[in-house]
Amino acid sequence: MTSIAGSLHAALPKPKYTGEDEEVPVRAQQRGPRIVGPGQLDETQLVLKRSGPPLYGQRTGWRPRSQEDFGDGGAFPEIPVAQYPLDMGKKGATTSNALAIQVDSEGKVKFDALAKQGHSEGRVVHTSFKDLIPLRQRADAGEIDLSRPDKQTVEATTERTKNALAALVSGAVAAQKPKNVNIGQRNDPTFVRYTPANHMGDNSKKQDRIMKIVERQRDPLEPPKFKHKKIPRGPPSPPPPVMHSPPRKLTAEDQEMWRIPPPVSNWKNPKGFTVPLDKRLAADGRGLQDLAISDKHAQFAEAVKMAERHAREEVQQRAMMQQRLAEKEKAQKEDTLRELAQKAREDRAGARRGRRDSRDSRDSRDSGDSRSRSRSRSYSDSGSDRSNSEDEDVKERIKARQDRQRDEERKLRQNRMGAERRAQVMAREQNRDISEKVALGLAKPTQSKETMYDSRLFNQSSGFDSGFNEDNHYDKPLFAAQDAISSIYRPRQNMDDDDGDGGDQEMAKIQKASRFGDALGKGTFKGAAEVEAREGPVQFEKDSADPFNVDKFLSEVDQNSSSKRGYGLQEEESRQSKRPRVDDDDED
């Protein structure tokens, strides 16, 4: 190849224009470091830095490594390596959203480029403070023309708006029209001048004719004459080549190496082969892996068991401690309550002793009967007998107070019951057996002398219940509840009391007792405490013709009496009870 180039160079004449004296154009001038040959190298120069591609013919084994190797050009197609001039197409290159700095006419940086990024050129983006100032108040606004536009401007704007709206409407209407129906506009007819030619030696004069060409009318519902055929798909890209080794014939050794023995089954043996036991166990695959039993599970179970036992012991100790604290607190409360009860008992005994002394002195002054003297003598007994009798009296009063409280609670519950519930309770109490009433403490000795029968005897199939004496309508007393009604508001006298004031004390108790309990507050009404105590039944006043004593006043005026008069306007003095009231607060 070199010899051919040399012979050709020797055979050709010397070129007339070599181009050495011509000035290199600007576009062809080399930029960057200059590459010089070994002849132009200065001997005093120690370091030579070359950049850019080498000359043609000297690129054997050369590969572009940096951007300076490409110079001002692109990639080298004759070099079969991946090349990325100016990092174009390089996957490792990172993209940045940074914007180039822009300046205005005064050299100031245009920061509004950040806000206008991604918008079109005609988009109005307000990025400065002066955009918030109205146009009338701007300093550089100048004169604002608010005059009415002329007629030509209005017509031009109207026509432009009309065309824009028509384009929008026509596009929307055209989108709704069918695509396959021939409803296009027919073209206008065309006129053609036709001059017949001379044929077959006919030289006669021909007259020109005017021909009208009209487009043939088409049926809009005519099916299409031509069918759209589907273009067959082109051949796919060729498959990638698969690099196989050259085929060679398998030897007996290779076949034996690739032969896989049949599996030995533990359940089937259709051929009846006799397989040794060691081969069968080897085929099972049990000995291929070494089993290592870990003791972590046992350690974990033991740790869990110890933790559970420790937790149980802690819970048991905590429960025992709480029980001890509760017992101690309970004992302290019992001691405190016992002390308070003892103190209250002592205070009550002292107060009761003082009241009894005062009452004895008052009774000795008022009456000198033998009963009061016997009571005064009983107060002068020994201290031990007095304390024993006081304790017994206290116990009896406490027991009586509890019984009375239970009765009052029962009555209050009955009052709060509805009519239906009260009827059920009364029916149940009436139908109870006498043994149940005795057990509940509801049995009372009968006041009638009639013979009592057991109600269970009437449930038999024969006897009184079977129809005997069924016409007798007077088998029950007519006024059976008269005794109970007559004793409702009558206080019974305490037969156990020694003095004759037992009935008065009982009446005072009833008057002071709360009738409805806590159902109506304190059981009294506002203004009822100032009313005088009533003796006997309720007394009513008769209607008088002169309630204000006006006639009496006029008659007295007429008499002109000088004596002291009462004009009937003063209220009568309230009657006071002659019987002294006994303070029995301790009995309630």
What are the pLDDT digits (tens) for 155-180?
A: 999 999 999 999 999 988 888 877 66
343 in a structural domain? yes
99 in a structural domain? no
Q: How confident is the model at residue 334 (pLDDT cuts 50, 70, 90)?
A: very high
Taking CA 187 as the corner, what is the angle to CA 182 and CA 191, rounded to the nearest 5 degrees? 145
pLDDT digit string, tens, across residues 258-268: 888 777 788 88
Higher pLDDT, 324 or 248: 324
pLDDT exceeding 90 applies to what percent of the chain?
Answer: 13
Q: Look at residues 445, 396, 415 and name the one whose alpha carbon lies nearest to residue 515.
A: 415
Identify the domain containing residue 310 by its residue range.
299-356
Taking CA 470 as the corner, what is the angle to CA 467 and CA 474, rounded to the nearest 5 degrees? 155
Higher pLDDT, 182 or 546: 546
- Average pLDDT of the segment spanning 366-377: 52
Lowest mean pLDDT among 71-80, 220-229, 430-439: 430-439
Q: How confident is the model at residue 583 (pLDDT cuts 50, 70, 90)?
A: very low
Number of domains in the chain: 1
Q: What is the pLDDT of residue 367?
A: 56
Q: What is the pLDDT of residue 163?
A: 95
CB 433 within 8 A of CB 440: no
pLDDT digit string, tens, across residues 454-511: 666 665 555 555 555 666 767 666 766 666 666 555 555 555 545 556 667 777 777 7
Q: How confident is the model at residue 577 (pLDDT cuts 50, 70, 90)?
A: very low
Task: Give the helix ranges, DSSP H, for 260-382.
Answer: 277-284, 296-366, 370-379
AA identity, residue 485? I
Higher pLDDT, 531 or 101: 101
Q: What is the pLDDT of residue 466?
A: 53
352 in a structural domain? yes
Q: How confident is the model at residue 122 (pLDDT cuts 50, 70, 90)?
A: confident
Q: What is the pLDDT of residue 159?
A: 96
Q: What is the pLDDT of residue 441?
A: 63
Higher pLDDT, 385 or 576: 385
pLDDT digit string, tens, across residues 223-232: 888 888 888 8
Name the CA dihedral angle for 551, 557, 558, 562, rounded to a multiple of 10 degrees: 140
Q: What is the pLDDT of residue 571?
A: 44
334 in a structural domain? yes
231 in a structural domain? no
Q: At what angle do helices 370-379 and 296-366 cross, to 10 degrees?
A: 130
508 C-beta neighbours (distance < 10 Å), count: 19
Q: How confident is the model at residue 311 (pLDDT cuts 50, 70, 90)?
A: very high
- Does the structure show a pLDDT above 50 at 566? no
- Average pLDDT of the segment spanning 500-527: 62
Helix, strand, or coil (residue 232): coil
449 in a structural domain? no
- Average pLDDT of the segment spanning 429-440: 66
Instruction: Report the chain's mean pLDDT, rounded to a whole number.
Output: 75
**Residue 220, both tokens:** 């809009």
Residues 6+ apart with CB under 8 A from 102: 109, 110, 113
- Does the structure show a pLDDT above 90 at 536? no
Residues 6+ apart with CB under 8 A from 119: 125
349 in a structural domain? yes
247 in a structural domain? no
Max CA-CA distance within the chain? 192
Task: Look at phi and psi of residue 523 and say left if phi exceeds 0, alpha if psi is from -120 to 50, else beta.
Answer: left
Higher pLDDT, 226 or 427: 226
CB 587 within 8 A of CB 502: no
Residue keyed to tokens 């051929």? 271
**Residue 237, both tokens:** 């890209």
AA identity, residue 101? I
Q: How confident is the model at residue 90 (pLDDT cuts 50, 70, 90)?
A: confident
